[in-house]
Amino acid sequence: MIQLRDIQKTLFRTAGVALILGGGAAIATADEPCGDLEECRVFIEINASDGDIGFHVLLDAEGWEQARIIDPDGRQIFHEQAHHALKDQKLTENFFESAEPLCESALVEEGEDDEVVTLPEFLERFPTGQYEFRNKLEGGGELAGMTEFTHIIPAAPVEVEFDGKVISWEYGIDLGECTTFPEGFMLADEVDIVGYEVVLEPEDDALGGFKFTVQVPSDVVGTSYSVTVPTEYLASLDANTPLKVEVGAIERRPNGSFGNTTFTEEDGFCNNSKQNKCLDEEEE
C-alpha cells in the first residue's frame, strides 16, 4: 500500500534529480526579470495527441492589485482586479490558461458541439511581437514589462515509450492531430528547441497529483532522447499501477527563455519492468 510519507520523500528526491539533469544549463522558464516585473511569459501550448491549442500566461510581481496585458496591436486582451480582502492582501504570481479548442473539425465527435479553432485562425488571433504587462500598485504606482511572443512552434515528440525504467522519445515532423497550417508555415527546427518537459503520471484519481515531472535541457538530452525515472519514485507505486507519459518539446526564445510547447501523450504503460505484463482493466 502506498504511504503518503513515502511519496513525499520521493517528491523531494525527484526534485533533486530534476536539478541534476538540468545542471549547469542556465535556462529561464520566462523572461526574468521582465522590466519591473520579476518574470513574465506568454506562449502557445498544443496537445498533439488530443488536437487542441491554447494561449498560456505567466506573470510574477510583488504586491499588485490590478493587472493588464496589451497585445502587439495595442489591444487590451486581459484585465484582472483584486477586490475587498484580496485587494488588501495584494497579489503576486499568476498563471492562467485559455480554453483549448480543437484544432480540426474532424476531431469533433458526433453529437458534440466543441469549438474548433484551426492553427491559422489561432495565430491570426494572437499576433507575434511584444506583449506588455502593466500591474497597478496601491496608491497608483505601476509595474511594467514586456515579453516576446512568436509563432515558432515545435514539432510533437514521437515514439514516446516507457520500458519500466526509462522514458524515451524522438523529435517529430508534425503537430499530430493539428494538420491545417497557415501558408508558408514551418515548424521549429530541432536546434530551436531549448528543452523537453517529461511527465510520468499514475492513471489513478487517488495518485493523480503525485507525478514525476522533469525539465531537461536539449543539450543534456543530446541524441539519446531519454530520461531515467528514479527508482525511489517507482518503488512508491504499487506494481502494475497504470501510467501515462507526456513529453513536450519547448521552443527556445531569442533570449534563451522557454517559449511555445507541443506535447504528446501516451498511455497503456504500467509500473512494471516488463511492459508486456501490464494488466488490462478487464484482467484486474
- Mean pLDDT value of segment 215-224: 84
CA nearest neighbour of 258 among 267, 268, 266, 248: 248
Question: Which one has a higher pLDDT value, 154 or 281?
Answer: 154
Q: Using DSSP, how many helices (H) and how many strands (E) does the chain show?
A: 5, 13
Q: Which CATH class is domain 4-29+154-277?
A: mainly beta
Residues 34 and 57: beta-carbon distance below 8 Å: no
pLDDT for residue 26: 52
pTM, rounded to two decimals: 0.88
How does residue 98 score in pLDDT terms, banded at 50, 70 and 90?
A: very high
Residues 157 and 170: beta-carbon distance below 8 Å: yes
For the chain, the domains span 4-29+154-277, 39-149
Domains 4-29+154-277 and 39-149 share a fold: yes
**CATH no., domain 39-149:** 2.60.40
- Mean pLDDT value of segment 264-278: 93
pLDDT for residue 210: 86
Q: What angle do CA 28, 267, 241 make, to 5 degrees?
A: 100
